[in-house]
Amino acid sequence: MEKCPVFFFAFDNRRNSENVYANNLMEKILAKDNMNQAYRQVVRNKGKHGIDGMTVDELLPYL
């Protein structure tokens, strides 16, 4: 008798719960408190402008 491989898909339930977290991820990232905290951290670290060429001072009005 030949043995057949057995596959368990135990990750299906976990994947569903991760999707719930992922659905709220952008909202959490873009939350006003999170954006302001990130901005203050960049200013405190004397961060330089990124690839978009925008300085920290130019960014403030968008927050």
What distance in Å separates the CA atoms of residue 24 and residue 12, rounded to the nearest whole number? Answer: 19
Mean pLDDT score, 44-62: 76
Instruction: Evaluate whether residue 51 is within a structural domain.
Output: yes
Domain span at residue 56 reads 32-63
Report pLDDT digits (tens) over 9-46.
555 555 555 666 677 899 999 999 998 998 888 888 77
* The pLDDT of residue 51 is above 60: yes
3-state secondary structure 45-59: CCCCCCCCCCCHHHH
End-to-end CA distance of the chain, in Å?
68
In a domain, 17, yes or no: no
Residue pair 28/34 in contact (Cβ under 8 Å)? The answer is: yes
pLDDT value at position 9?
53
- Kindly state whether residue 23 falls inside one of the protein's structural domains: no
Is residue 2 in some structural domain?
Answer: no
| Element counts in the chain: helices (H) and strands (E) | 3, 0
* Number of domains comprising the chain: 1
Name the amino acid, one letter, at 6: V
* Amino acid 53: pLDDT: 75
Q: Is the pLDDT of residue 47 over 60?
A: yes
pTM: predicted TM-score of the whole model, two decimal places:
0.50
